[in-house]
Structure 1
């Protein structure tokens, strides 16, 4: 499989793709030492810095590994699946089980760390959820997620916030499907308002136990509904 010259842009992505093809196609089996940067740059028609960035991308994908003083070696024939891709394939119930652990702890931390600005944000998010009660399921779910995101943000832990953000696409799809299939809002357009109001109140009062307990009960009820679908 000849490497061949590349189009001008985006060079790093193209270089990484061409090198990946050599590995996944079997041209460079596991254990093979790759040609040096200068050789690869000449073969691909790019600069050494482009090759270096492409190799870094392949390393992040788990395909190659640089060994100091020895060179870059192939360590796998297939790229590892990234976290976002795994979440997209995961069952929403699996995602929800992990969500419970993350958000319950976030609620406890939020009750201890919330600022006046956080409390105002939570109140606004709760009002937004109530306003969305008159809209369709997708808009209501978006408002619901925004409230939960505000709780996580009030924990002031960037790792928790990043994890929650990764979950949002899977959660959104699952929650919209659940509302549509179970028709939960037909008799109660603002489904779950009491629980969410209690959560906001507990965080605002600084009661971590109540915040964690209230959120766990609400999320576990939703998980039970999702499991039954």
Structure 2
């Protein structure tokens, strides 16, 4: 069994996600025993302590169960638990697809409902994103997420904003990892600058169709990169 080595960022979360994908795909069906910690650690390229933490996450989600003296067994293929647990154990591509469903419509609503205060917040967030181009990937991702959050806030729907905030930790980890993997900002430190500027202008112009189209195109491109990872 070869799962592929993981990056040092958020190793336990990544390990849990990788193991969950293997369980969902049927590599280890319900009732089967997982390989031992040493074997999993070697396959994933991490330490045994990381594997133990990942297995605890999967146990909390209802996917595996440790049996004293016997090992760890698969008990389910669907995540069980509350919303935060489901988000923590969801694949980043799943989170991103739901993000698209929320944000594209939020951008359309923002174009119709935005206020002068919303525009000021959008302009400030866009400027911060530009400034963050000179910083590291984590700072750039944080600035990018703030801009997207300002778009959702301008939609004037509190529930949409709550959902976006719930997604933020998973999105942040996944996007930082994506930039590290692809090196997208090596040649383009302000990656996505034109698209984000166009999004803000479409909202300023109250052009809902343009706002939705610009944001959907940008998110689809990023999702494609995540799926290729």
TM-score in terms of structure 1 length:
0.65
Taking the aligned partners of 1:120 and 1:165, their CA distance within structure 2 comes to 20
Confirm or deny that 1:97 pairs with 2:97.
yes
Tell me whether 1:152 sits opposite 2:133 in the alignment.
Answer: no
Partner in structure 2 of residue 214 of structure 1:
214
The alpha-carbon deviation at position 128 of structure 1 amounts to: 0.2
Question: How far has the Cα of 1:177 moved from its partner?
Answer: 0.2
Residues 40-189 of structure 1 mapped to structure 2, 5 A cutoff? 81-189=81-189
Q: CA RMSD in A?
A: 0.6
Alignment deviations for residues 17-75 of structure 1 (CA, whole Å, 9 cap, x no partner): xxxxxxxxxxxxxxxxxxxxxxxxxxxxxxxxxxxxxxxxxxxxxxxxxxxxxxxxxxx
Distance (whole Å) between structure 2 residues aligned to residue 151 and residue 139 of structure 1: 19
- Deviation string for 1:70-99 (max 9, x for gaps)? xxxxxxxxxx61101100100000000000
CA distance in 1, matches of 2:127, 2:148: 13
Runs of 4+ in 1 over 6 A off after TM superposition: none
Q: For structure 2, which runs of at least 5 residues remain unmatched after alignment?
A: 1-79
3-state SS, counterpart of residue 184 of structure 2: coil
- Partner of 1:97, secondary structure, is helix
Post-superposition shift, 1:118? 0.3
Q: CA offsets per residue over residues 94-147 of structure 1, 9 Å max, x none?
A: 000000010000000000000000001000000000000000000000000000
Report the Cα distance in structure 2 between the residues aligned to 1:226 and 1:99, rounded to whole angstroms.
13
Q: TM-score, normalised by structure 2?
A: 0.65
1:189-204 matches, within 5 Å, as 189-204=189-204
Separation of aligned partners in 1, 2:168 and 2:189: 22
- Mapped to 2, the partners of 1:203 and 1:168 lie a distance apart of 22
Which consecutive residues of structure 1, in runs of 5 or more, have no partner in the other structure?
1-79
Mapped to 1, the partners of 2:172 and 2:215 lie a distance apart of 18
1:208 CA displacement? 0.4
Q: How many residues in Structure 1 have an aligned counterpart in Structure 2?
A: 150
Matches of 1:200 and 1:210, distance apart in 2 = 10
Shift of 1:190: 0.5
Per-residue CA deviations over 1:133-167 (Å, capped at 9, x if unaligned) read 00000000000000000000000100100010000
Secondary structure of the 2:126 match is helix
